[in-house]
Amino acid sequence: MLSCNSDEPKFQSIEITPILIGKGVFFNGNYNPTQHNEIFTNTTQWNGFVSNVWETDPIPDEANVDFDMYKVIAAFDEPRSNGGHSIDIISVTENAENITIVVEKLLNGDATTIPTRPYHFVKIPISNKEIIFE
């Protein structure tokens, strides 16, 4: 009779600490104006995005990404007619078969009358595992 060896180590979930690229509220509202997430996996894709879309804030040094080492995870909220909103990547967890990214809205607005478009961009170590957003 064959059976699984119970002494084989099982993969333990690992919390990944993402590296902040940018987080704020004044992102270009014309770029895909829905609440959504994106994954950038190469320099051409990322540089095209940065040069065409990052309009109002200066591009931070952290936006220079080595795609042999990292992927970029981007979370966008929809354009808002007032301030006080946020979109937040609150955890990144590597599991046996995937990487789970938890995105929430921690702030829900009405703080100012200025239109905003919350965003949160991070980079994480490269992996071939599927990325799942929750």
Per-residue pLDDT reduced to its tens digit, 75-102: 999 988 888 899 999 999 999 999 999 9
pTM of the model: 0.84
Q: List for the chain the helix, strand, coil content (%; round to 5).
A: 10, 40, 50
Cα 88 from Cα 119, distance rounded (Å): 8
H or E, element range at 123: strand 119-125
Cα 105 from Cα 88, distance rounded (Å): 6
Per-residue pLDDT reduced to its tens digit, 1-24: 455 555 666 778 999 999 999 898
